[in-house]
Structure 1
């Protein structure tokens, strides 16, 4: 059974949190007690929460974008993240960078009490065939699908590539 949050209220709250987080100029690297208040988002079922979502546009149009976020399982049972999608995009895939190369991740377990952080240089989502209307300063929507069929959606702040993105631009496999 999928529990669906009241979408307008959830999106309003998530947007407010994203603006508040962006205003402070520092994003958490991983979920800790010091950033506990920033870890909010619509729930798929009790205890499953997503936060800190952003979509980073490619420097060159037509190349894939990257998505970063945190998903936390405060529930009593393990869950498995089985797929991701971005509203309006042609395709989205979970990837992981290890030892200088990037590979596709088909599924990702999230144990009770654990968080998984999608961040530059590690786990991330590659997004292909972006909608032309998607621009820096705008919003996008990420939907995560779990192996039991539950879904969790969250808003993403859309940003232009800049700052420290690691070596992702030079990595083999980035040009799909």
Structure 2
């Protein structure tokens, strides 16, 4: 029973929880789409999301939308990120205009209402499975 307190301490450190989200429905000829959700860290230590995987796409990358002012015009774009940190006892929103998970190289067209399973990977080895509906928004 010596390990019981250590196990409880480890469980309290970092606990990712995903609030339901969605995957954007795109036309069948488009090979990339985005997934959105909110990640909550209920633990006492930071969490670092480093990647994700799914069976419906070749890869998933982390992105952040951004705006730049060039020549008097606003240019919208997105930047790939190596990771996203979730501070202790806080939430990070993946939503249009902010962070998103980019599903790249869709292996087949997605259908409205279907459920897509993603496995989120964290730097500490934690894996979190989420199931998101495909929606037109």
Same fold, TM-score > 0.5, yes or no: yes
Partner of 1:90: 58
Is the 8 Å Cα contact of residues 56 and 108 (structure 2) preserved in structure 1?
Answer: no
Give the CA deviation at 1:86: 2.2
Give the CA deviation at 1:126: 1.1
Max radius of gyration: which structure? 2
**RMSD of aligned alpha carbons:** 1.7
Q: Which one is further off, 84-93 or 135-144?
A: 84-93
- Pair 1:54 & 2:53 matched: no
Q: TM-score, normalised by structure 1?
A: 0.61
Q: TM-score, normalised by structure 2?
A: 0.78
- Where has structure 1 moved over 6 Å in runs of 4 or more? none
Equivalent-residue separation in structure 2 for 1:131 and 1:156 (angstroms): 17
Please identify which structure carries the higher helix content.
Answer: 1
Per the alignment, in what secondary structure is the counterpart of residue 92 of structure 1? Answer: strand
Please identify which structure carries the higher strand content.
Answer: 2
Partner of 1:103: 79
Give the CA deviation at 1:158: 0.9
| Higher RCO (C-alpha under 8 Å, 6+ residues apart) | 2
- Please list every run of 5 or more consecutive structure 1 residues that lacks an aligned counterpart in the other structure: 1-44, 163-176
Per the alignment, in what secondary structure is the counterpart of residue 61 of structure 1? Answer: coil
Is the 8 Å Cα contact of residues 28 and 109 (structure 2) preserved in structure 1?
Answer: no
How many residues of Structure 1 are paired with residues of Structure 2 in the alignment? 117
